Structure 1
């Protein structure tokens, strides 16, 4: 979309420490653990482990708070009334600095692996701690690394991280294990449902990056997506949370730069631009035998996007929400 490599012109020197901004949010989550039906424990080396849905039930409010932690304290998440029968409530997300909040923090971009065979552990880490470790290419692209004295990670998992993995993460962050917090949010849990759906703005930012849109041109953004019913079955739960974004997500981005770039971005962003669009995600996932890499990466996008060109004030809208596909995914009578 542009001859400029994404992120090269970003003024990240003025960006705040997302680790420091998220720290009080983490503190309040731990402090209110009983009220939020969470369980807090310590690893042998002193890392804080917050169970938000494995051995305890968790709750929607916990998921909302965890989503704001995922945003590195640079965004707000709320649950409000929706406008579709299949989804009477929705998750709403806003950030005044979408690249920092979504790509430097919320994006589940750090692959954590430990052990082999039956003892193998795998999880994708999101949250502000990613910017402390800065192990991913995105951080060199945008020119940002956090220097906070603590690191928080959110893992979409149904198992606590093993001791060896915690020690490795501590080394990668250059911090003692006691400075780390791991928040565990299973896909099938109430908290996990909210924190996954709250990624509606993040998937739009990630696709902007994949499409080569200059990230420094993304000035502001907000999004919403329906809150699906959770399911105790992993594939069903994963399908519903993905479909909430693919078929019900709506995002508006406010961008600088030429109007023509904003128009081209709007045309490419919606999930309907993908060849895999049109069926519930769980069906696609089972068809490719649980191999994410066989799914068109362009599918992971909001259903409807609006891109406002600040240079001219024109807004370009593409895509559309699908109550029929949402009802099919969410298990509502049709």
Structure 2
């Protein structure tokens, strides 16, 4: 499966960007050509944005459904996550294992950009890595990153800044919370 995590996530990210207005996400083009997509920092991105964010985080190697359930007569949403590729989707892509710490900005980085950076021992142990032309990352953060963060990610991944897309959501936002909840398979591993 080598080489496909970023490719799959990029395709799904293009769909998210094409529906930005409908999904209430806001793409920001930075001076270096990178795109930062606000998925809950300064915009009320909702459930559909959260579903796509979670799928992108798992390199679209999953099925994620929002199912209505009742608990003691209280209607609640239930997130169902399935994958036939748990190592690739969860450990090599979804796991929030990359600390992005630049000046006053801090985020936990996840998504397939991690496979391009290969900064964690996990990639050596599993003998996996990617050298993509484009990369996508998901940042759990309360603020949007600037050019300096993109430069750090570019250096670590070997990807030109103009080919980097970062989706950013606080865990307290609807979309950010959904991508955290979608980590149920990863947590079980």
TM class by smaller structure: over 0.9
The residue number in structure 1 matching 2:89 is 101
**Aligned mates of 2:132, 2:158 — CA distance in 1:** 11
Runs of 4+ in 1 over 4 A off after TM superposition: none
Residue 62 (1) aligns with residue 46 (2): no
**Aligned mates of 1:98, 1:16 — CA distance in 2:** 16
Q: Which has the larger radius of gyration?
A: 1
Tell me if the contact between 1:123 and 1:156 (Cα under 8 Å) persists in the aligned partners.
yes
Change in Cα spacing, 1:103 to 1:162, as seen in structure 2 (3 Å) is same
TM-score by length of 2: 0.95
Specify which of 147, 166, 173 is matched with residue 157 of structure 2: 173
Residue 45 (1) aligns with residue 32 (2): yes
**Aligned mates of 2:41, 2:8 — CA distance in 1:** 27
The residue number in structure 1 matching 2:8 is 21
Unaligned runs of 5+ in 1: 1-13, 206-334
Q: CA deviation at 1:147?
A: 2.4
Is the partner of 2:138 in helix, strand or coil? strand
**Aligned mates of 1:162, 1:40 — CA distance in 2:** 13
The residue number in structure 2 matching 1:199 is 183
The residue number in structure 2 matching 1:79 is 66
Q: CA deviation at 1:40?
A: 0.7
Q: CA deviation at 1:88?
A: 2.2
Unaligned runs of 5+ in 2: none
Change in Cα spacing, 1:15 to 1:174, as seen in structure 2 (3 Å) is closer
Is the partner of 2:87 in helix, strand or coil? helix
TM-score by length of 1: 0.55
Q: CA deviation at 1:16?
A: 5.1
The residue number in structure 1 matching 2:144 is 160
Specify which of 111, 125, 131 is matched with residue 99 of structure 2: 111
**Aligned mates of 2:80, 2:109 — CA distance in 1:** 22
Is the partner of 2:172 in helix, strand or coil? coil
Q: CA deviation at 1:188?
A: 1.9
Q: CA deviation at 1:66?
A: 0.6
The residue number in structure 2 matching 1:222 is none
Aligned 1:1-334 pairs, distance under 5 A: 14-15=1-2, 17-85=4-72, 88-115=76-103, 120-205=104-189
Is the partner of 1:172 in helix, strand or coil? helix
**Aligned mates of 2:126, 2:69 — CA distance in 1:** 35
RMSD: 1.3
Tell me if the contact between 2:59 and 2:89 (Cα under 8 Å) persists in the aligned partners.
yes
